[in-house]
Amino acid sequence: MEKTKFFLDIDKEEKWLNEMTQDGKYRFTKKSGFTYYFTENATGTTYHYLVDQRLFSKNNQQFCDFLADMNLTLVTRQCGWYYFETTDPDSAVSIYTDSLSKIKYYIRMIGVLFILMLFNISIIQKGNDNGALFFNISFPMAVNVIILICCLITTGKYLYRILILKKS
């Protein structure tokens, strides 16, 4: 089964993956672009998924090995996004257990959103009345503005989460 979805909020993506597989019928196998691939789960085992973003990290393999020791298996990775699965519900709570690591995680996500916002602003600046051309694809200006607004809202959510974590 294939499902195409676009997420800016990594927590919502993780929640959606877990909802898709919670009944044990399907298992997430890979992601390509915005398409998520699921296979039928013959065993009926419920898998739990965690998503992490490590775009420019030098120790990605060490991190994956560390998570493997915590009973988290790497399913797939795409452009710095890592998708892990486990059958143990206790392991699926969160990759980051302390406030400082969660804050660093949200700061990394804000950095990714900032790059996406700069990309959209550059398209808006170069656009004309017919829409901006990028890779010979015409994007209406309204789409870029909507993506920019969604990035700003998600950045605000991450900043709010950081503020809550700093208070605790």
Tens digit of each residue's pLDDT (9 = 90 or more) over 107-149: 888 988 888 888 777 766 665 545 545 554 555 667 777 888 8
Contacts of 130-137 spanning 24+ positions with Cβ under 8 A:
none
pLDDT of residue 36: 92
Average pLDDT, the chain: 81
pLDDT of residue 129: 47
pLDDT of residue 38: 92
pLDDT of residue 8: 83
Each residue's pLDDT tens digit, 103-118:
988 888 898 888 888 8
**Neighbouring C-alpha atoms within 13 Å toward the C-beta of 128:** 4
pLDDT of residue 143: 74
Residue 78 has pLDDT above 60, yes or no: yes
Model-wide pTM > 0.85 = no
Please name which of 27, 74, 25, 23 lies closest in space to residue 51, comparing C-alpha atoms: 74
Element (H, E) at 141: helix 141-167
Mean pLDDT of all residues in 73-102: 81
Gyration radius of the chain over CA positions: 18
**In 30-138, where does DSSP find H-type helix?**
60-69, 99-126
